[in-house]
Each structure stands twice: as C-alpha cells, then as structure tokens.
Amino acid sequence: MRRTSSLRAAAAATVVAALAAGLAACGGVQVVTQQKSPEPIHIGAIYNLTGSQASLDGPSLDGARLAVDRINAAGGLLGRRVELLERDGQTSTSLVRYDAENLAALRVTAIIGLSDTDQVLAAAPVAARAGIPFVTSGATSPLLPAQVPGWLFLGCFGDNTQAAAGAEYAADWLGARTAAILFDKDMDYTRLLAGYFAQSFSAQGGAVVLRAGFSSGERDIAKLLAPLAGDESAATSAAQLLFVAAGPSDAGPLVRKLRAAGYRQPIMGGDSYDSPELIKAARQTGGGVYFTTHAAFGLANSTSAMRKFTTWYHSAYGRLPENAFAGLGFDAVNLVANAITRAKSANPRLVRNALAETRGFDGVSGGLSYTRGSLVPRKAVTVVAVDRRAQVAAEITPAFVPAP
C-alpha cells in the first residue's frame, strides 16, 4: 500500500507540474522570481562622541545620519540604499586610526567626519593608502590637503579664512587697533588659528601686543594667567581685544576665568566656540564675546536652506541644531552623494575624481567649490556676537586671507 500511494503521489505531482507549465506558457500563471536587493553603498563616518571633541562631533554625526535618512527616503543612490558605518574615535588618535583601518578593510566608498586637525591626520592617511577619499566635515587646517595629497577634502573653510574674517570684524566693526592673543599651545588647530589671526590683524593695520600660550585643560587660574604677569599684564589690559584660541572643552571655562580676573575687553575666538556651553558662559559673564563659525542655524538672518535644515533636524531629534557642525555633517554626506551621482559609480577612486571636480555645491552651511587645484573651499564666514543672547553679527568673505 505504501509503494502504491507513493507512485500515485508522484504521478499526481507530475500532472500538476505539467498543467502549471502549460498554463504559464498560455499566460494563465505568472511565475515570480525573487531578485536579490543590490548591495548598499557604504560610507564610513568617524566622529568623537566622547572626550573633548564630543560637543562638535556629536551634532555633526546627527547631521550626517539625517542626510542618509533623507537620501534613502528619496530612493537612495544609483538604485541602492546608503548605509553609514559609524565609528566613535573617543578623541583618541590611536583609536581613530584603528577605526580608519577597520573602515578601509570594509572597502567603504568614502569616509567622512572629525572636527580636529590632529584627529584627521590619524585617519586620512590610512584612507589614502587604501585608495578611499576622506572628507573632513569640520577640521579647518588649510594645510591638511597637502599633508594627504589628492585624497583629503575639506568640507569647511580653512583657519586662515576664518581668522581673516575675525580680524576684519575686529578692526572694522569693533574698532580694535591692538590685540592680545592667547592660544592653546598643545593643539595644531589653536596654534594655526592664532598665527593666522596675528597675520590678518596686522594686515588690517592692527598691532598684536602679546602672544602667549597655555596648556590644554588648564584649570589653575594662576597658571593660566601666568603669561599675563608683569609688564605683559599691563600690555594685555591695554589691548582693545583678546583673541583666545582654545579647544571646544576649554572655551567656556576660559571666558569665565578671564572675566573673573577682570578682563572686560571683547573676547574673540574661532569655530570651537560654537557650542551651547560657550554661549551660556558668555551670557552669564556679561557678554562681549564674538566667534567665527560656518553657519548660524536657528539665529536671525539665517538663510532659507539653514531654516529648512533646522526644521528637518528638529523633526528628527526633537531639538534644534546645537551648532554649525550639525550642518557640516549633513553637507559632508551630501557632498559625497553628489560625487557618487556624478561619477555614476560607488568606486572610491571615481568618487575621489568627482569630488575634486565639485563646483557650485549648494550645502546648508553655504556654497562650496574646489577651484584652482585647491581642496580647501572658499566659503563665507559667519560672525556670531554673544551679549544677552547670541545673534549673527556679520557674514564676511575676507578681502585678505593669509597663505596656508
């Protein structure tokens, strides 16, 4: 009985298969073949979500995530989804280097991220050796592309440009003719920014009466102000402006210490000041603080693109963009996406070539082009003034910019 049943079942199956084939041939049955989804396009993202760089890199990563979400909602790139492979460098150059090696081994199309020169120099050479372009969303040293030739792109202005804009504002808007410069001697960013400001302020007809360095994270007020002792103290007190180049975690505490020590002059700094902590410190100590940055999201005089981005960011995260670095992260992803679209490929080398040919990219933090063989874009600089509140004081494209 079992053998007979098996034979009957086999015969029935044969008949059913034959009928199905015949119906399919006549158009009566549709045969559906599942197609495998194309591989996603992978973009690496290295940001320091802990440590002294977190106040800049955290918002930047959120901006990058938002860009990926919007790209995928619009259908992706080249018919493929985009995936952001995120890594936390923890403000450690050794870990940042390891993260870059890991992403290079995964053969990502490009790597974006980081807001500090030292951090970028730990990651970008690794990417370059693997033939992968690196776009830094927030590191502003104009020397970086020459240090990693052909593969490292700035998605932001250079320190020479923001220092020149700050010097122009100090001279023309604040009427300063003398300045004292304090800078963190342990960071490339702050050393470069201080040097470029000195050159630019001199070009505006100003005089630098003091240049003095301090150590990162210095919390002893006596040690911090030691460079201002004696004759230098008198010179600093007479200076009409204090330019203080500090890292993001030191900017707010330094403003508080200088005000507590009796320095009432306007204090100016760079884009590392662009944080809620610095703005709070400036407001609570009487204001008179100015800084250069990439865009002023949520402040008066914002552009239409900035207002749109602010709305998107608030909708995604339930809060306003913390600083300009949120927009820079958003723009870095879209800059790479624009290059992939123009290259019609996710091949890293072809994307690198397309990035170098970028002209007229319209980012939320401003327009961007790479021209005259330079991978540092020339962008306008926003000056923010903090008194009772933070507000846009000026948008400057400086006439004089020191050479990198």
Start-end ranges of CATH 3.40.50.2300 in the chain? 41-157+302-370, 160-293+384-396
pLDDT at 109: 98
pLDDT at 269: 98
**Does residue 152 come out as left (phi exceeding 0), alpha (psi in the -120 to 50 range) or beta?**
beta
Residue in the structure block whose two tokens are 């992978």: 42
pLDDT tens digits, the chain, 404 residues: what are they? 433 333 334 444 443 344 344 434 444 444 445 567 899 999 999 999 999 999 999 999 999 999 999 999 999 999 999 999 999 999 999 999 999 999 999 999 999 999 999 999 999 999 999 999 999 999 999 999 999 999 999 999 999 999 999 999 999 999 999 999 999 999 999 999 999 999 999 999 999 999 999 888 765 655 666 665 555 666 667 799 999 999 999 999 999 999 998 999 999 999 999 999 999 999 999 999 999 999 988 776 678 888 899 999 999 999 999 999 999 999 999 999 999 999 999 999 999 999 999 999 999 999 999 998 899 998 999 999 999 999 999 999 999 999 99
The string of DSSP codes covering 187-253 is: -HHHHHHHHHHHHHHHHTT-EEEEEEEE-TT---HHHHTGGG-THHHHHHHH-SEEEEE--HHHHHH
pLDDT tens by residue, 198-222: 999 999 999 999 999 988 876 565 5
pLDDT at 217: 76
Distance from C-alpha of 270 to C-alpha of 381, rounded to nearest angstrom: 10
Distance of CA 145 to the CA centre of its chain: 15
pLDDT at 13: 43
Residue 283 exposed, middle or buried by CB count within 10 Å (0-12, 13-18, 19+): middle
pLDDT at 298: 74
Please check whether residue 287 is in contact with residue 25, taking contact to mean a CB–CB distance below 8 angstroms: no
CATH architecture of residue range(s) 41-157+302-370: 3-Layer(aba) Sandwich (3.40)
Instruction: Provide the whole-model pTM.
Output: 0.85
Residues 6+ apart with CB under 8 A from 192: 117, 141, 143, 159, 160
**CA-based R_g, the chain, Å:** 27
CATH architecture of residue range(s) 160-293+384-396: 3-Layer(aba) Sandwich (3.40)
3-state SS assignment for residue 75? coil
